[in-house]
Structure 1
Amino acid sequence: MNKKLELLKQKEWRIIDQSSLGPMFDALQSFAIDDTLCTSVGAGISPATARAWVHHHTIVLGIQDTKLPFLNDGVQLLKDGGYRVIVRNSGGLAVVLDEGVLNLSLIFPDTEKGIDIDRGYEAMLMLIREMFAECADKIEAFEVAGSYCPGSYDLSMGGKKFAGISQRRIRKGVAVQIYLCVTGSGSERAEWIRRFYRAGKKEEQTKWVYPVIQPDVMASLSELLGKELTISDVMLRFLTALNNYSDRLATSSLEGEEIEWYQGYLQRVIERNEKALSE
């Protein structure tokens, strides 16, 4: 069997759907939940898990973004625009999360041989192509210059980026995470990040390289497909595609030891976030 298929093919997929919890569901909670699930899946307590989540009016910064010389100016600009600003506990750069962005996490146990990084990325790419079978041949994976949080597994159609994939590894669990811009304007989201870097960097020379954002290289799936999708539409596609790789989908929430682990991870994430924004 194709190695990418091996990752997706699971006897059972545990499903945690947090895509409709509303504006009070905080992105810091999401980071703690994925760390908890990595621990649980890595220990063999939980089967492979797929989680879906949506956060409202949030800009997530990477650690590198906190090194901007005028970070406070950039953060204030975003807050004045109505965004909550937080720092993620993994790599990458600034991204926009709002009610039109669906985030998906696939959490696998790291095997004895180990899951190499590209296998995780390729498994997610394969799943997204299955979810959007009508345009699968148009979905490309390469770094889209001028996009926010650029990476080698940016997903695009016709050169316009609609998604980015990242990974986090902790305690023998591997979380492959993607944000999908489903509805709204991709370029408007990118404009906020462009303004953030302009305010946070100004003309200063920096040790780190920050992207020069070109808003018109980003779009939502609704814009690219020429039809109004909803988060629910894409959730149905997600569950249908996963079901093709599994004997059983089992919906659940955190349980047992996971609840205690979650509290510990959440405290850590909150403290790290406060420290990163106060330095």
Structure 2
Amino acid sequence: MRWKGRRTSKNIDDRRHAPRGVSRAGMGGAGLIVVLVVGLLFGVDITPFLSGGGQVAPPQANAPVQIDDETEEFVAVVLADTEAIWGEIFRDSGIQYTPPVLVLFAGRTQSACGRAMSATGPFYCPVDQRVYLDTSFFQVMEQRLGARGDFAKAYVIAHEVAHHVQHSLGILDQVNRAKQRSSQADANALSVRVELQADCYSGVWARAMDQRFGVLEPGDIEEALNTAAAIGDDALQRAQRGVVVPDSFTHGTSEQRQNWFYRGYKSGNPNSCDTFAARQL
């Protein structure tokens, strides 16, 4: 992915340089194991945090961001691409798109959905409409999963922004209400449909972004598909437990995640991403 020297987003909140006295606990030992089990799912179910969470005003545009390093520049470029593409898609539908703020942190920070930690992995909080990302997660992707390449990382960001798109369209609220009335198995099944739709939206973004900016390189889509395979529920459970328990899936199998990302990429149409109407995922 050709990203260097391109436009960066101003909606970055870099908290990695915490003041003295604020904990910046890193990932080590047991923490990495938890990351593999939870974080690599690209988003946690934050429903338990939402009760009593109250209302938070939508994020306002930040002041100009001082880009401190290459990682922040990369994240800011990808975020800017999501803003351009989803802004255009929403505009074509007569809807105003308000982009999320992306919080970079190291070790831990606070979100409106509770404490964000390395062990939770990247996630989207609908209460404050922010994406939370500990960038050391990218190292875990490369070193433990073999999910390498710039576009593998871009897929992570695009997936979390896709949850913001779902929130903006009212999808997350509807799903959370349905989950409250459901059994655990049915609630898990709804979570799978949410995550697969976010994968599909990521594919829609990838196609539109390449058509508009022409920045994808040979092998980029394969990087995203390889990452999707590595983080399927079945792949993670098989690696960690040696057994697969479908009723406990919350994000979908490797094959499902690949298929829905590629469906979005091939169609370029968000309407092709209605996982909730699909009889077979």
TM-score by length of 2: 0.32
Higher helix share: 2
Higher strand share: 1
TM-score by length of 1: 0.32
